[in-house]
Chains A and B, each alone.
Chain A
Amino acid sequence: MNRRRQGRRLLRRFIPVGLALPLVAFVLVTFVIPLATMVVQSVHDPEVADAFPRTLALLADWEDSALPSPDVYEAMAAELVLSRENRSIGKVATRVNRIESGTRSVFAKTARRLESADTSDMPASMIQIDRRWGDVSLWRAIVKAGQRYTARHYLQSIDLERGLDGEIQLVSEERRIYKTLYLRTVYVSFAVTVSCFLIGYPIAFAITSVSDSLAKILLVIVLVPFWTSLLVRTTSWLVLLQNQGVINDILVWIGLVDDGSRLALVHNMTGTLIAMTHVLLPFMILPLYAVMRSIPPVYMRAAASLGANPFQAFARVYFPQSLPGVSAGCLLVFILSLGYYITPALVGGAKGQLISNMIAYHIQTSLNWGLAAAISVVVLVGVFVCYFLFDRWVGIDKLKLG
């Protein structure tokens, strides 16, 4: 009897947990596991270590000022042939090539020619096949690439590298691309947030102050872009903004702009800003509207009765009370902008690319997933920093999304 009741109580406690299980499983499969894989990917790089275990073991106590001993060359030769047989040599070559560029061809070529080479003096034969085997920098690159766990990708994702002496240093000037991209991403996110706020606040205010039926219509107008495909919205901006597009045509037609000097509105930063502001505007308006609607109009009356003119009443009474909506909208838009990808890819051109486009490049084109993962983690950390700053200054409990 008692045990049965206890069982029932236990069951009752687990029913809510059980109802949440599908969500937990979903989040686990679609979010936690990929995220964890990504983080692991960014530091775990086993390809070279798996291919050349013996060589790397021998190289462990190699002084990297002189060429390694002949037995290292012999081990290397054996493992090169082996990795050619099991077709891992391409991946290995790519890894080493990322560290010491121009070395991609060395590995396949050497492995192929080793079959018919003289094995008595392996160092000489290998150097004969490719003279770069006589260069310490190739051996250094192999050692570096042979690290199973590496901070290399993280260093690279913030424009750093380990120098010859192991000191962390800035990469050479022409290779510093990520810092610019991070700064540009933050700048674009900030600009998009500000313009969303400047456009969205009056709209949300208008929706709260008109009659209910008109408010419904305005809300639908705000939401319609939300319901149309992101691609359609973005490409329609191309139509509007391009050199021979609607906006330039109108500007030329009314004589504001000379036909020869049409404005470059797209395939640059301007295009990215305009299109992203449009796409993210609902994320600003909706939380603002939700908060503004909960501000009773009696406060404005009270302010007026106390002698505040409409501007003072707005600035001192209304606006401070709408701040939870402002901060929620800004946080949403800013964080969404940090990771925005499709819009800059389509309308941004070369100058309007953001950090997420670089992640996509490393995943799809350069196939350097480790670096892509490292950049993603850097962005993720940035998002968390924003979140915690927000919590510190505003308080996450003040966040009202609707």
Chain B
Amino acid sequence: MTIGSPEEPKREVHIAFERVVKSYDGRTQVVKDLNLEILRGEFLTLLGPSGSGKTTCLMMLAGFEALTSGNITIDGRPVHDIAPHKRGIGMVFQHYALFPHLTVGRNLAFPLEVRGLGPSERNSRVRRALQLVRLEGLEKRKPANLSGGQQQRVAIARALVFEPEIVLMDEPLGALDRRLREEMQFEIRRIHQQLGVTMVYVTHDQQEAMVLSNRVAVFREGRIEQIAAPETLYEEPGGVFVSSFIGDNNVLYGEVREVRDNDICHVTIGQDRDVKAFAGEATRPGEPVWIAIRPERVGIATSDNQYSNQFDARVNDIVFMGDHLRLHVETCGIHNLVLKIPNIVGHGAVLPGDDIQIGWAALDCRALSIESKNSL
């Protein structure tokens, strides 16, 4: 376990999925013609709702599921005829899968024992792995006597102790409560930066994906909808599915009236409201589009705070969220547009039932083509 400097991942393909198809029953494909390149040292998250094929992809990479067609290569070599135990891939399972009859120390020593390492080498590696996850001194405990968070750390340490080049994690934090989950996210991030191994992480929690990943592949119905760095996914979603799956989004339906050459398009929503939006995808006049606006980019307009898109709105509800307020307003014929207002002095000026002016900058909303990705 060499401690590498947290440098940028090298642009070298480590794992590649080539036209991978997986079908369990021969009819419905859970993974459809999937191509994916994972770089060495990268932290890639497969993100998507349940049933989108992300876990299946992970299992195929680990060797627990056979491919229906296509190829998976590691360092350019196809792996389909390599048995799971010879792939040298560390894996953290959803419910940890710590062997209940072995102590923590024996659990960690297991991969070293089956590799035939001597006792002194085993002991020092186990100790280092426990140090890495900050669980020194728990070797003698049985997994049942550990808290959920500790079990999680042991599972991670066990997946790392034999120094695999690739570590897979299948929703490892799903069983933890929120606070512990957030703590563990940063822990996993730190471990990845410390070791520089290639990590493939499966989750349905977009916030987790954002915290951890170099890149996120958003899965939907067996395909990758978009693969990009978290910031890109958030700011430049490739479609309405990604825009609503990553973070919150208000999605309005409209029709393009005019496209200006500075990437701004005018979209008509409702009867005759005109919205100026960033023409993300090539749009042409007359085309129906979705317009996506992040709740935190919508503000309350005042006399000295004017927006390029500005509308009358009625406040239906105000929800106090601690660090921010959520306003549910009705505007332009839309029943429920959400605003996130930071919890700063002055927010008390608005009350449910008030008529206010809301607005957002043209560049803060994106027009997303409907044809390519039709439904939500």
Contact = CB atoms under 8 A, between A and B. Distances in A.
Interface in B70-92: 83-86, 88-91
Contact of A306 (B63, B100, B114): B114
A299 interface: yes
23 contacts: A298-B95, A298-B97, A302-B91, A302-B93, A302-B97, A302-B99, A303-B85, A304-B63, A304-B64, A304-B84, A305-B84, A305-B89, A305-B91, A306-B90, A306-B158, A307-B86, A307-B114, A308-B114, A309-B114, A316-B114, A317-B99, A320-B101, A321-B99
A303 B95 contact: no
Interface string A307-318: 111101100110
A299 to B, nearest CB: 6
Interface residues of B, number: 26
Given A298-B93, A302-B93, A306-B111, A321 B100 contact: yes
B110 interface: yes
A307 B111 contact: yes
Interface of B: 62-64, 83-86, 88-91, 93-95, 97, 99-101, 110-111, 114-115, 158-159, 162, 168
Given A299-B99, A301-B64, A321-B101, A312 B91 contact: no
A394 to B, nearest CB: 13
A317 B111 CA distance: 12
Contacts of B99: 299, 302-303, 317, 321
B85 A308 contact: yes
Interface residues of A, number: 20
A301 B84 contact: yes
B64 A307 contact: no
A295 to B, nearest CB: 9
Interface in A263-319: 296, 298-299, 301-310, 312-313, 316-317
Contact of B85 (A298, A307, A320, A323): A307
Best-surrounded residue of B62, B88, B93, B94 (most CB of chain A within 10 A): B93
A313 B64 CA distance: 14
Contact of A307 (B88, B101, B168): B88
Given A301-B64, A302-B99, 11 more contacts: A296-B95, A298-B97, A299-B97, A301-B62, A302-B93, A305-B62, A305-B85, A306-B162, A307-B86, A309-B85, A321-B99
Given A307-B162, A317-B99, A320-B101, A301 B114 contact: no
Contacts of B95: 296, 298
